[in-house]
């Protein structure tokens, strides 16, 4: 089954404790992206990757890191989480070429709470 | 730059009645427009998209959307709403050369039995 998986689905942590949220897709998509969803703000893009070893900042990259060492994986790293990073996070992927025009496939989401 | 606005946070409609969820956009050049739906505790699912061609686009689950270039709108419609259509709906805009989609703030649709 074609899908995007994320782990963990739920995470409660404390300020400053480094964490990683994993994302994996099995559709051989070149483009991958991370979003955060906050009430009233919709989805805001954190980082995206056009292909392996190619990453770029989205609209709200502060406090986050990413890496793309393999095509299928795109982990999101919070080196020192803060309470304002409490949010619902989504990973998505699509065929590249024209990422601004392609359907994106979304993972199930990771609900992060930073105390 | 590109942006999208969903002017209604909440839309309520009775089952069997037609529904409309509004979206307006701003983009330089020709827009690529999308609708996604999010059910509780789920990721976003693609409903439909407009790239070029016929202004009326048909998508999944009986939904359709009308592209109106002069009004820069892309409203989502369905002739007869179902209770199961209750969900959070997102409009998104992109461009051929863009590396990003920009999403609206979402509209919560509630279909009342």
Tell whether B45 lies on the interface with A, counting CB pairs under 8 A: yes
Q: Is the per-residue pLDDT at A98 higher than 70? A: no
Mean pLDDT of B36-54: 91
Q: What is the mean pLDDT of chain B?
A: 93
Alpha-carbon distance of A14 to B108, in angstroms, equals 31
Q: What is the mean pLDDT of chain A?
A: 93
pLDDT 10s digits, B70-103:
999 999 999 999 999 999 999 999 887 777 889 9
Q: Which of B6, B45, B99 sits opposite A99 (nearest CB)?
A: B99
pLDDT 10s digits, B19-44:
999 999 998 888 899 999 999 888 89
pLDDT in the model for residue B64: 97
Q: Is the per-residue pLDDT at B14 higher than 70? A: yes
The C-alpha angle with vertex A54 and arms to A37 and B26, in degrees rounded to 5, equals 50
Q: Is the per-residue pLDDT at A73 higher than 80? A: yes
Task: Using an 8 Å CB-CB cutoff, list chain A residues near B95.
Answer: 100-101
Mean pLDDT of A45-50: 93
pLDDT in the model for residue A103: 85
Mean pLDDT of A76-90: 97
CA of A106, closest CA in chain B: separation in Å? 6
Q: Is the per-residue pLDDT at A100 higher than 70? A: no
Burial class (CB in 10 A: 0-12, 13-18, 19+), B112: exposed
Buried b or exposed e, range B75-92, using 16+ CB within 10 angstroms: bbebeebeeebbbbbbbb
Q: Which of B47, B99, B100, B106 to mutate to test the interface with A (most CBs of A within 10 A)?
A: B99
A-B contacts (CB, under 8 Å) = 71
Among chain A residues, CA nearest to B103: A43
- Distant-in-sequence, close-in-space partners of A18: CB < 8 Å, separation ≥ 6: A77, A78, A79, A80, A81
Tell whether A35 lies on the interface with B, counting CB pairs under 8 A: yes
CB < 8 Å from A in window 57-86 of B: none
pLDDT 10s digits, A3-40:
999 999 999 999 999 999 999 999 999 999 999 999 88
CA of B97, closest CA in chain A: separation in Å? 6
Tell whether A34 lies on the interface with B, counting CB pairs under 8 A: no
């Amino acid at each position: 089954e074609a899908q995007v998986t994320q782990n963990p689905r739920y995470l409660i942590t404390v300020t400053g404790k480094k964490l990683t949220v994993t994302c994996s897709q099995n559709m051989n998509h070149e483009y991958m992206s991370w979003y955060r969803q906050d009430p009233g703000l919709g989805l805001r893009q954190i980082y995206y990757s056009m292909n392996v070893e190619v990453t770029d900042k989205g609209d709200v990259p502060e406090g986050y890191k990413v890496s793309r060492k393999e095509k299928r994986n795109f982990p999101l790293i919070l080196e020192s989480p803060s309470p304002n990073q409490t949010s619902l996070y989504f990973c998505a992927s699509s065929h590249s070429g024209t990422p601004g025009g392609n359907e994106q496939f979304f993972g199930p989401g990771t609900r992060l709470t930073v105390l | 730059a590109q942006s999208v606005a969903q002017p209604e946070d909440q839309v309520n409609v009775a089952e069997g009645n037609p529904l409309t969820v509004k979206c307006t956009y701003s983009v330089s050049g020709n827009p690529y427009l999308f609708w996604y739906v999010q059910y509780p505790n789920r990721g976003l699912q693609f409903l439909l998209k407009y790239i070029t061609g016929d202004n009326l686009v048909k998508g999944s689950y009986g939904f359709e959307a009308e592209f109106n270039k002069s009004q820069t709108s892309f409203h989502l419609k369905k002739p007869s709403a179902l209770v199961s259509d209750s969900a959070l709906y997102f409009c998104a805009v992109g461009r051929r050369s863009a590396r990003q989609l920009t999403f609206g703030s979402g509209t919560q649709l509630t279909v009342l039995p």
